Amino acid sequence: NTKLANIIYIWETSKTFESISIGNSSEWYVSVPAKAGYTRFAVLVQKVSGSGSNSVIVNIHGDMPDKMISVHAGYTKLTNVTVVIAAIYIKDGFISIN
C-alpha cells in the first residue's frame, strides 16, 4: 500500500554479538535518530539470527532517543548472533489524541 508508506517510516540498525556465554548478557546502546515530519512511535526487535538465536532474550530499555538493548543467552551459548532493532515512526498529525 503506497499510502501507508507516506504515513509510516521504519529505520533499522543491527549488531552482531560474537560470543555470549550461557546465563550472561551483553549491552548495546542505540540512539534512535529523529526524522523530520515524523514522531518516533516504537522501538522493537525486528529479527534475531545466528548460532543459538533460539535462546536469545532481548530487552529494550530507556526513553527516546536513547535505548539500551540487553541481549541475554538463555540456555545456549550465543555465537555470531545478529540482532536487528527497528524504530517505527508515524507521520506528524496522523494520530490526534483528544
DSSP one-letter string for 33-73: PP-TTEEEEEEEEEEEEEETGGGEEEEEES-SSEEEEEEEE
What local confidence, expressed as pLDDT, does residue 6 receive? 75
Give the number of domains in the chain: 1
Q: Which amino acid is located at 35 in the chain?
A: K
Residue 97 is assigned to a structural domain of this protein: no
For residue 21, the enclosing domain spans 2-91
Residue 98 is assigned to a structural domain of this protein: no
Residue 63 is assigned to a structural domain of this protein: yes
What local confidence, expressed as pLDDT, does residue 1 receive? 47
CATH number, domain of 10, equals 2.60.40
**Low-confidence residues in the chain, pLDDT < 50:** 1
Residue 96 is assigned to a structural domain of this protein: no
pTM of the entire structure? Answer: 0.85
